[in-house]
């Protein structure tokens, strides 16, 4: 991965001045290696950034912000940009950070000798536009904030001075951003609609308990097809989660921040919560489907069907649905159906349970996940690229990393070593969430899975 620092910026004549050539963000995540080597730029030989073997370990917030802003002969490393934009929100609101970036740009411009203004802008403008492109592409939800949008437009206006050459770039940045935010709003409306339909179906069932309930097998009798449809739901819901949602989940818990109101308006999205709610829905759906039939033989058939679905999820690399199915089968209304389980061939289920065994900090699952991640890196088909992690465990890992490691060092520096680790975990997820689902959609099955009535644990004990 090339480093844009003072000693190795590609020199270009003015006539061929163009955007800094950094590798695509996806390429950075797909490479499987997360590069921490961040070389100091010329301006930063100051003592406010602390390095060891070219690894940036800590720095004051101001120096880290300075390190984010490009100069004529310096462009920050991709991994640094991602890591800093992801983690800095623990200390500073994104709109404040954007304002500071803009301020540093203006200061640099002011310090430049008068008269060289035009050529200076030609050198610096593409780099700042590149930084804004990366910010808007990777953290688009930051710009749901009016102040953020204002700062973005303001910064773009200041550095381009209405220059025709850059106006198109700015337009492109804006169009892409607006498209992403529109897609997010549409997705949120869809989730709200699905939840409303699900509540309606539950209400109908409660008012007419005798109304004939279809079961999952009557809608989809093939376990392979169901596993593929579950993978559709997973990948769609994953694709909308912003990387910052993992960090924002525990922003409010920073005891060093006394000014709590600054952070209360920070959550602009609920995609991570919607994803966890989907996991819970699938668990309860599995348990409900197993407990509904009156006949033991029928219940045993549904258990075996779900075991096959879970197995296929494992083969696809869909660990989230797999874990939801297993946890549904382990709910007490299901596990206490002793006579039903006696009719089930449980060997296949035992293998899956072993794979997802929580002991030794989910050692077996983590090994399987690493195998799937490796396969994904060398994949020849989209199908082989699929890695859907067990989401609750990923959230827990990131939570413990944050809790177990201080964000500030005794000298007041930001502990950047912690943030490399945080970014590494989140960036792996970023590569996985970009996979397109290769299977054909079946709307009938998807509608059933997302809206069929589900019972609470108490409601499932239908007198069996």
Encode pLDDT of 218-262 as tens digits: 999 999 999 999 999 999 999 999 999 999 877 654 445 555 444
Stronger pLDDT, 162 or 78, i.e. the higher one: 78
Q: How far is the C-alpha of 423 from the C-alpha of 362, rounded, in Å?
A: 22
Encode pLDDT of 91-142 as tens digits: 899 999 999 998 888 787 777 655 556 677 778 889 999 999 999 999 999 9
Encode pLDDT of 396-451 as tens digits: 999 999 888 888 999 999 999 999 999 999 999 999 999 999 999 999 999 999 99
DSSP state of 336: T
Least confident of 60-64, 223-227, 358-362, 455-459: 455-459
pLDDT of residue 17: 39
Type and span of the H or E element at 401: helix 391-403
Q: How far is the C-alpha of 41 from the C-alpha of 70, rounded, in Å?
A: 10
pLDDT of residue 112: 67
Question: Per-residue pLDDT averaged across 275-285, rounded?
Answer: 96
Stronger pLDDT, 211 or 137, i.e. the higher one: 137
Stronger pLDDT, 63 or 159, i.e. the higher one: 63
| Euclidean distance between the first and the last CA atom of the chain, given in angstroms as a whole number | 61
Query: Which parts of 139-213 fold into alpha helices (H)?
Result: 146-160, 164-207
- pLDDT-based confidence at residue 1 (cuts at 50, 70, 90): very low
Encode pLDDT of 340-382 as tens digits: 999 999 899 999 999 999 999 999 999 999 999 999 999 999 9
The angle at the Cα of 424, spanning 419 to 425, to the nearest 5 degrees, equals 105
pLDDT of residue 463: 44
Task: Look up tokens 């879970």; give the residue.
Answer: 310
Question: Per-residue pLDDT averaged across 315-335, rounded?
Answer: 96
- Asked if 46 contacts 12 with a C-beta cutoff of 8 angstroms, the reply is no
Question: Per-residue pLDDT averaged across 191-212, rounded?
Answer: 83
DSSP state of 380: S
Q: Note the pTM of the prediction, 2 decimals.
A: 0.87
pLDDT of residue 241: 96
DSSP reduced 3-state for 388: strand
pLDDT of residue 30: 53
- Asked if 22 contacts 10 with a C-beta cutoff of 8 angstroms, the reply is no
Contacts of 171 (CB under 8 A, 6+ apart): none
Helix 146-160 vs helix 94-111: crossing angle, to nearest 10: 20
Q: How far is the C-alpha of 261 from the C-alpha of 264, rounded, in Å?
A: 5
Helix then strand then coil, in percent of the chain rounded to 5, is: 65, 5, 30
Least confident of 83-92, 156-165, 322-331, 359-368: 156-165
DSSP state of 411: T
Task: Look up tokens 């922003």; give the residue.
Answer: 251
- The answer on pLDDT for 21 being more than 50 is no
Backbone angles phi, psi at 5, to 5 degrees: -135, 180
Stronger pLDDT, 292 or 121, i.e. the higher one: 292
Q: CB-hemisphere CA count at 13 Å for 298?
A: 12
- pLDDT-based confidence at residue 47 (cuts at 50, 70, 90): low
- The answer on pLDDT for 270 being more than 70 is yes
Mean pLDDT of the chain: 85
Q: How far is the C-alpha of 336 from the C-alpha of 299, rounded, in Å?
A: 13
Question: Per-residue pLDDT averaged across 18-22, rounded?
Answer: 42
Cα separation values, 229 from 196, 279, 368, Å: 21, 14, 22
Q: CB-hemisphere CA count at 13 Å for 57?
A: 7
The residue count of the chain comes to 464
* Phi-psi category of residue 162: left, alpha or beta, with phi > 0 → left and psi -120 to 50 → alpha: left
Percentage of the chain lying above the pLDDT 90 cut? 64
Stronger pLDDT, 390 or 407, i.e. the higher one: 390
pLDDT of residue 57: 93
Q: Beta 55-59 vs 49-52: how paired, if at all?
A: antiparallel
Longest dimension (CA), the chain: 88
Helix 296-316 vs helix 347-355: crossing angle, to nearest 10: 40
DSSP reduced 3-state for 415: strand
pLDDT of residue 334: 94
- pLDDT-based confidence at residue 27 (cuts at 50, 70, 90): low
């Amino acid at each position: 991965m090339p480093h844009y620092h003072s000693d190795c910026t590609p020199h270009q004549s003015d006539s061929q001045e163009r955007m800094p050539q950094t590798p695509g963000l996806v390429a950075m995540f797909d490479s499987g290696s997360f590069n921490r080597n961040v070389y100091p730029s010329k301006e930063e030989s100051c003592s406010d950034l602390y390095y060891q073997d070219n690894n940036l370990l800590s720095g004051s917030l101001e120096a880290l912000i300075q390190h984010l802003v490009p100069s004529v002969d310096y462009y920050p490393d991709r991994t640094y940009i991602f890591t800093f934009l992801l983690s800095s929100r623990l200390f500073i609101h994104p709109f404040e950070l954007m304002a500071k970036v803009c301020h540093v740009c203006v200061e640099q411009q002011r310090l430049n000798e008068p008269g060289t203004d035009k050529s200076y802008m030609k050198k610096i403008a593409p780099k700042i536009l590149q930084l804004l492109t990366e910010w808007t592409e990777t953290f688009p939800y930051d710009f749901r904030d009016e102040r953020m949008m204002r700062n973005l437009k303001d910064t773009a206006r200041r550095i381009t001075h209405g220059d025709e050459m850059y106006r198109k770039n700015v337009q492109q940045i804006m169009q892409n951003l607006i498209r992403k935010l529109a897609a997010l709003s549409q997705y949120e409306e869809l989730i709200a609609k699905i939840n409303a339909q699900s509540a309606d179906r539950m209400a109908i069932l409660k008012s007419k308990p005798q109304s004939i309930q279809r079961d999952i097998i009557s809608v989809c009798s093939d376990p392979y097809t169901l596993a593929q449809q579950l993978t559709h739901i997973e990948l769609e819901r994953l694709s909308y989660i912003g990387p910052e949602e993992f960090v924002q989940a525990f922003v409010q818990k920073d005891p060093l921040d006394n000014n709590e109101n600054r952070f209360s308006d920070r959550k602009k999205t609920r995609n991570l919560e919607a994803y966890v709610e989907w996991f819970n829905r699938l668990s309860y759906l599995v348990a409900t489907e197993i407990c509904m039939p009156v006949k033991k033989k029928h219940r045993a058939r549904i258990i075996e069907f779900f075991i096959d679905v879970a197995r296929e999820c494992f083969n696809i690399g869909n660990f989230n649905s797999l874990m939801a199915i297993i946890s549904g089968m382990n709910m007490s209304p299901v596990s206490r159906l002793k006579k039903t389980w006696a009719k089930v061939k449980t060997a296949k289920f035992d293998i899956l349970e072993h794979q997802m065994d929580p002991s030794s900090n989910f050692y077996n699952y983590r090994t399987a996940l690493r195998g799937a991640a490796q396969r994904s890196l060398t994949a020849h088909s989209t199908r082989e690229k699929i890695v859907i992690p067990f989401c609750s465990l990923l959230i827990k890992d990131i939570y413990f990393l944050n809790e177990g490691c201080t964000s500030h060092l005794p000298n007041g520096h930001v502990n950047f070593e912690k943030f490399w680790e945080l970014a590494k975990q989140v960036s792996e997820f970023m590569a996985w969430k970009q996979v397109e689902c290769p299977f054909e959609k079946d709307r009938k099955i998807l509608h059933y899975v997302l809206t069929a009535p589900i019972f609470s644990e108490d409601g499932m004990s239908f007198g069996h």
